[in-house]
Amino acid sequence: MSEPISLQMVGSKRLGGAEHWFCRFSAALAELGIPAELAIRAGSELERADLSLPLHRLPFRTVWDPISQNAVSRLVRRIRPDIVQTYMGRATRMTRLESGAGPVHIARLGGYYRLYPYRHAHAWIGNTKGLCDWMVQQGLPANRVFHIYNFVDPPRPQPPERIAMLRKELDIPMDARVLLTVGRLVPVKGHVHLLEALSLLPAEIDGRPLYSVLLGDGVLGPSLRAQAAQAGLNRRIRWAGWQSDPAPYYQLADLVVFPSHAEETLGNVILEAWAWSKPLVTSRFRGAREIAHHGEDAWCVSCADGPALARGIEHVLQDPQLSAAMVAQGRQRVRKAFGRKVIMDRYLELYRELAGR
């Protein structure tokens, strides 16, 4: 029996968390030979991505644009997929399929969005259990809400010369310890509290200088730089901006710090830290409370608490046995629960179930 055919659609203009997941998920579908096609917004940043599946460019002009809605309907009739999976509100609003008369429309959510644009779908996927429980509490039918975590790809180690060059480019001494924080410079990511924590930490720990590398850009960039300057942190912080490939930075890091606010849904950085075998200090946001275990695979502190974050960073850096134990447990968690095969098997199982295969 042939596998269900899916059409994956996202109507965003910019690249964000959902769009990066769209790319990674599409690559996994292609690698596994699962039949699928993609639809993106014409002129979006996704056009620059390396998408290895058949690609369609649709208008996706506004959330109510009838031209775009007709384009979606025509594409669905032409491809005749078993599953239409949409991401974010724009593509979901534009997809209007009759229930029981053709393709099954799955809306995939990665956050606590207003559900009005998603309610007309036939089924819903949430990337945390907490999000799925919330969707059911908001009135979606429990038997059509499915929980599937994101997967994390295995690390792609870089040559030692590349890491040495990166350290030189960032002007970080060879003996320095590197703290890495990955995320858009937006309020939910908690950079304000990270900078507060850095201002409370000593310049050196166990005789080694302490440097912090921030990957990401966003609206808070100017105010965060001003905060860092006022706290006298400019010599110890490296603003690396947005990076299409964060792999060398993870390899460079001695510790990953993830200070998000409570409303953060999942937190892929946790999975990345585990995959790269890096000790992790994280706040107890929604996703961390669900997947991380304090003192076992991560060191967890209260949200929006710079002093607690500073104490956690210093404690983990000064306890190599704790760091090694958390790294080992994190690797095991990835292998058992967040590996690509584990998650893609769950998606394929769901596709088969909904398509009646």
pLDDT in tens, 106-123: 999 999 999 999 999 999
What total of structural domains would you count in the chain? 2
pLDDT for res 50: 85
Q: Report which of 121, 119, 125, 127 is spatially closest to residue 145, judged by C-alpha positions.
A: 125
Residue 223's pLDDT is what? 98
Q: What average pLDDT score do residues 3-8 get?
A: 96
Q: Are residues 121 and 21 in the same domain?
A: yes
User: What CATH number does the domain containing 136 carry?
Assistant: 3.40.50.2000
> Domain span at residue 334?
160-338
268-275 and 320-333 helices, crossing angle to 10°: 110
pLDDT in tens, 285-320: 999 999 999 999 999 999 999 999 999 999 999 999
Where does residue 304 fall: left (phi above 0), alpha (psi -120 to 50 degrees), or beta otherwise? left
110 & 65 share domain: yes
Q: What average pLDDT does the structure give for the chain?
A: 96
pLDDT at position 64: 83
Q: Which two tokens stand for residue 118?
A: 């998603």
Bridge partner list, 204: 209
Calpha distance 55→161 (Å, rounded): 37
Taking a C-beta distance cutoff of 8 angstroms, is the pair 110, 89 a contact? Answer: no
Is the sign of the CA dihedral 263, 266, 268, 272 positive or negative? positive
pLDDT digits 0-9 by tens, 134-183:
999 999 999 999 999 999 999 999 999 999 999 999 999 999 999 999 99
Specify if 11 maps to a domain.
Answer: yes
